[in-house]
Structure 1
Amino acid sequence: MDADVWNEQVAQGYDESSAHMYAPDVLGPAVSFLERRAGRGPALEFAVGTGRVALPLSERGVRVAGIEKSEPMARELGRKPGGDDVALTIGDMTTSRVPGTFSLVYLVYNAITCLLSQQEQVACFRNAARHLQPGGRFVIEVFVPELQRLPPGETARPFHIGDRHVGFDTYDLVNQQLVSHHYTIVDGQGSTFLSPHRYVWPSELDLMAMLAGLDLSERWADWNEAPFTASSRSHVSVWQKPSHGSASP
């Protein structure tokens, strides 16, 4: 499934289709937030993709490594200025190991939901914990499921409407699955992209962290550290590895 979704065509057009995520008011706060949590230690990005976050974080002096399952996405990262500065491992973020330990492991832009089962998501937390130094932090940025905004009997909800991109999600409420539909116009040509996801609640993520030996230390509505409330549509959560021990394998 991953090979079919994150293929060469998608990788080559990914930055253009995600241009709104490169806007300074979107990307800047994310990089600053992660830089502060990394401190003086190295950082590891799960699902590093084409380097939207890893490259500017590296430019700020943070030593960044990345795990990426899609070889086409990884090639796009390698072609960019500074791409060679990101130590890249091709593999699955649930099982792949990177040499050394890190003060920060992070997973952004809803990438945790690309793992389509609860078991895989739990394995991701455990793999993050294995890579963390004592006192290190695991950061996830992910949407809050939009179920409260679904009228009775409807299963679709838009998440972005722009001049060159429209996106909406369709929900399978029984199986906690959704499919993101992207419709993009580049140079007058239209393209479509569908990606499957498993949506997950903040409380469920907290339980996954607990199973991995991590403790919740922060939860914000966004990278600007706005308070997280019942009406928040996303969250940035931080779990920390205890300084006095190691996480469970």
Structure 2
Amino acid sequence: MIEHSNLEEYLDPVNYDLEFDGEMDKYQFYLELARSSPGEVLELACGTGLTTIPLSKAGITMTGVDISSAMLAYARLKAGGLTVTFMEGDARTFESDKRFSMIYLTGNAFQAFLSDQDQNDLLTTVHKHLQPHGIFAFETRNPEGTDLSDQEETEWGSFIDKDGKNVKVSGTQCYDASQHIMHWVTMRDSGDKRTTSRIACRFTDQATLQSLLTRHGFRVEHQYADWDKTPFSPSSSSIISVCRKC
């Protein structure tokens, strides 16, 4: 199941955007993919629309689904008069009469599905809502290319928050090898305030991923290491998968 604590990362959508916005190469990757399969596009786990909105601005008819009402409220505010639909829902149980030409998840959202059942339910949802031969794309961290060792608090970076304060970001990690789940604790320190949030992410290796996608009726057409479409290798830090519904 998706742990309740995972939602702690998404309680402050404005600062979330300030910390994570600006991945132009990623936006361009998904835009090019959407243009290669004309029709309506669905983003699952869309959050504040960091990717949904740029694609909508580029003329793609978009629907975004997310489990967090706070993130969606901010997404709708940012979207203004754009032709984009935001819906609250769980990607494992989402139901729509629409069939989409492309469905994607980004921000490593695939890793938020922590059990075999979660992954199966997600992929069942995707397959059901894709048009025949539609595209499914997502990225996930590659366990073979990631340092999974337990780590004490280390500095991860910084950003300027909505109040103009410099926020230092640090965190710890602890990997449960039996469940393939990483538990991260993130600390954000603005000088007069320090917050803590927790998130759990499942790591799935390439071979397991390939088997899982095949069982659910997808053909993997491409796997990349980065948004520049560098071919995936076992040491790559990411697995960016582009699949076709069989």
TM-score higher than 0.5: yes
Deviates further, 195-204 or 216-225:
195-204
The CA distance in 2 between the partners of 1:160 and 1:97, in whole Å, is 41
Amino acid at match of 1:215: R
Correspondence list, 1:95-174, <5 A: 95-145=93-143, 149-150=147-148, 154-156=149-151, 161-163=156-158, 164-174=168-178
The CA distance in 1 between the partners of 2:53 and 2:102, in whole Å, is 15
Partner of 2:7: 6
CA deviations over 1:69-128 (Å, ceiling 9, x no partner): 111221121221437632122111011123311111001111111112111112111211
Partner of 1:67: 65
Amino acid at match of 1:130: K
CA deviations over 1:167-203 (Å, ceiling 9, x no partner): 4432001121111222223475322211122221122
Cα 1:157–1:58 change in 2 (3 A) is farther
* TM-score (norm: length of structure 1): 0.83
Q: Is the aligned partner of 1:190 residue 2:194?
A: yes
Deviation at 1:66, TM superposition (A): 1.3
Runs of 4+ in 1 over 4 A off after TM superposition: 1-4, 157-160
Deviation at 1:156, TM superposition (A): 3.2
Deviation at 1:216, TM superposition (A): 0.4
The CA distance in 1 between the partners of 2:96 and 2:221, in whole Å, is 25
Deviation at 1:12, TM superposition (A): 4.7
Partner of 1:214: 218
Q: Is the aligned partner of 1:180 residue 2:193?
A: no
The CA distance in 2 between the partners of 1:205 and 1:170, in whole Å, is 23
The CA distance in 1 between the partners of 2:217 and 2:92, in whole Å, is 16
List gaps (5 residues or longer) in structure 2: 159-167
Partner of 2:31: 35
The CA distance in 2 between the partners of 1:36 and 1:169, in whole Å, is 35
The CA distance in 1 between the partners of 2:152 and 2:106, in whole Å, is 21
Query: Contact conserved, 2:221 with 2:243, CA < 8 A, in 1?
Result: yes
Cα 1:202–1:10 change in 2 (3 A) is farther
Query: Contact conserved, 2:173 with 2:183, CA < 8 A, in 1?
Result: yes
**What SS does the aligned partner of 2:209 have?**
helix
Let me know the Cα RMSD of the aligned residues. 2.5
The CA distance in 1 between the partners of 2:221 and 2:155, in whole Å, is 30
The CA distance in 2 between the partners of 1:199 and 1:228, in whole Å, is 16
CA deviations over 1:129-149 (Å, ceiling 9, x no partner): 111112211101111125874
Q: Is the aligned partner of 1:90 residue 2:88?
A: yes
* TM-score (norm: length of structure 2): 0.84
Query: Contact conserved, 1:55 with 1:82, CA < 8 A, in 2?
Result: no
**What SS does the aligned partner of 2:125 have?**
helix
Cα 1:49–1:159 change in 2 (3 A) is farther
**What SS does the aligned partner of 1:100 have?**
coil
The CA distance in 1 between the partners of 2:107 and 2:28, in whole Å, is 15
Deviation at 1:162, TM superposition (A): 1.2
List gaps (5 residues or longer) in structure 1: 243-249
The CA distance in 2 between the partners of 1:75 and 1:218, in whole Å, is 34
